[in-house]
Structure 1
């Protein structure tokens, strides 16, 4: 890996993660409370929510790249199993809770409560649908897809973890394993190339990984620390808001080739900004670092807030409480508060990757595989 990355500080990046999660939950809440589908308000909310997801992808690339570097340094070419253990311990406990919550809310929706999902489509609650939710292989007719629509990005994130692992194998493995790793990367990219947002998420992730990989380069750091970078990034992120009045804005955001290319290209300035935050000591880094404590439950909040908030809005409609804008506002505030408090409390149990890592390593050791637990793969505080 090029250059010295020992100076990376992750508190500011944790703060970015926490704030991005808050933006997602607020934009989803605003859309539920106020904005009809395809209205300018809904379009703006969709764009800011999408921006937050794009930040997640770029941030994941940055952190996973440095984590894989550390793991390869300690494990060599045997990094695969520990890497999988770290990712499982991080991703699946909150995901399992999210699927349980989603199916509980979905059950209410099929037993007397008219559930206000985004599409209003029917959904499956059987065992097969449940298992597909747990493995992120859910189909359009499953409750996971209809009730907890935010999980589309998590499925892509796990895909990116696999791409990163095979790409690392292609770089550091023995000759045969390098070839196999490269083939696996090409196969994954080829299979997903035509699917919703996969190429864009890959570009965003790769940009973040590249910024971390070459972050020790002094020219790159000078570019990241340039005073014009933050206003440029903000302007690039806000520019599409000028077009939210176009009735086709929301569809173009996911289907328009030009708009999709623009979103992929945003990975470069976003990655430079993340490098700036990871290496800087200025006001921006300190401000984001101040939000870092909220990162401890941000992942749990992200994966369960949609079914929780959908339940609150559905109950309000079912009970015919407080009609009008005042009722919309009150319901929004209650939904946000319930999602925040529930996520914080749940995260105390499920968002504890170090605990789950130890349990998985013990189980593997008992099975005879005996991998050694190394320093945390994820250097950020919310590993």
Structure 2
């Protein structure tokens, strides 16, 4: 999920000029020469981790069991990587747009985000509602909570706008979308923060006030402060990544093993009752997850500037990034359908049947996502369409249509 936009290799650096130039880091090499193949591979691998963790939870682990707790933690780690990776990529994207459009970057930025996010999201809501319809017409669905859900037009509109409520099918069936809603929120925070630095006068004041207001408004909501900390760590790593000391730290041979230890340390406590609840409610645990953004962001910087074994291994998975976002948003309803059919039809009993069903669910989610991504993960096409529509209405300048690809 999380960074769902990859930039071409060797992204241009920040241009000097208007207020944004004051943020230009020392060294002049920041945000220049990053290689995104490894970051694409990291995104693809994180999506696979989410897929497998959810599949294992559906197949083997009762809710609140140690196995379920471990699977939940691995899934949460992958989402945390998405948030930090999004911050890294969005920072570089905004720097390019500000360099080309100054404080008027809002329209191209919004178009790039909409073209990337919404086509797969609309597909995911359609798939979710199709599975939900089956669930209300003879196929009992094995959702995580088992709650009733709405399938009306209002629920559909709330799904495609990421404003879904607890009683909507989107909330009950496709539970992975909570992080996408937060990611779109982070896109807005990033744009407003950029405007606060690149704009002038009232624009700067209003944008800065909007950032503070949004953070205060969401501070007590589930995981928003933590996702913001992870996102900000990734953005800072990208922005200040030209500093030699920071690059040396990102290349340090001990960083990867140390980060893995920090990420894996909570697994020592999965046998404790309440571990899953503490992931989302425990103040100390939430602070720990937020703090993990620093080592994760440094590792991402290391992948972006490195050519060592880790970067090469991650880059080998870059091909899977072409459908990783679609996989993220539709895998839960697809796998829920497979496991529900098995239970309803009483097929493949026993451990062997469970394993076979798990493999079928995983492969089915991969196949559906790969095929669907050929249609919905085409941001360049959707950008062109949106820019032409905006130009026809006079809301976009012709030059905006040539904005750098994000």
Structure 1's unaligned 5+ residue stretches are: 379-383
Q: In structure 2, the residue corresponding to 1:125 is in which secondary structure?
A: coil
TM alignment of 1:238-253, pairs within 5 A: 238-253=264-279
TM-score between the two structures when normalised by the length of structure 1: 0.98
What is the alpha-carbon distance in structure 1 between the residues aligned to residue 216 and residue 151 of structure 2? 32
Report the alpha carbon displacement of residue 376 of structure 1 after superposing the two structures with TM. 3.6
* Of 214, 218, 224, the match for 2:244: 218
1:268 counterpart = 2:287: no
8 Å contact from structure 1 (residues 83, 377) kept in 2: no
* Of 176, 182, 187, the match for 1:150: 176
Per-residue deviation, residues 298-353 of structure 1 (Å, max 9, x unmatched): 00000000000000000000100011111110100000011000000000000000
What is the alpha-carbon distance in structure 1 between the residues aligned to residue 396 and residue 163 of structure 2? 30
RMSD over aligned Cα atoms:
0.7
What is the alpha-carbon distance in structure 1 between the residues aligned to residue 380 and residue 273 of structure 2? 47
Match of 2:37 in 1: 11
What is the alpha-carbon distance in structure 2 between the residues aligned to residue 110 and residue 267 of structure 1? 41
What is the alpha-carbon distance in structure 1 between the residues aligned to residue 55 and residue 254 of structure 2? 33
Per-residue deviation, residues 36-94 of structure 1 (Å, max 9, x unmatched): 00111000000000000000000000000000000000011100010000000000000
Per-residue deviation, residues 142-162 of structure 1 (Å, max 9, x unmatched): 000000000000000000000
Report the alpha carbon displacement of residue 120 of structure 1 after superposing the two structures with TM. 0.2
Report the alpha carbon displacement of residue 368 of structure 1 after superposing the two structures with TM. 1.2
TM-score between the two structures when normalised by the length of structure 2: 0.92
* Of 373, 389, 392, the match for 1:366: 392
Q: In structure 1, the residue corresponding to 2:151 is in which secondary structure?
A: coil
Q: Residue 377 and residue 64 in structure 1: after superposition, are their counterparts in 2 closer, same or farther (change >3 A)? A: farther
* Of 171, 177, 182, the match for 2:203: 177
What is the alpha-carbon distance in structure 1 between the residues aligned to residue 61 and residue 352 of structure 2? 14
* Of 58, 82, 95, the match for 1:69: 95
Structure 2's unaligned 5+ residue stretches are: 1-23
Per-residue deviation, residues 160-203 of structure 1 (Å, max 9, x unmatched): 00000000000110121110110010011011000000000000
Report the alpha carbon displacement of residue 247 of structure 1 after superposing the two structures with TM. 1.3
Hey, which bits of structure 1, 4+ residues long, moved more than 4 A? none
TM alignment of 1:19-38, pairs within 5 A: 19-38=45-64
The count of aligned residue pairs is 378
TM alignment of 1:222-237, pairs within 5 A: 222-237=248-263
What is the alpha-carbon distance in structure 2 between the residues aligned to residue 188 and residue 98 of structure 1? 27
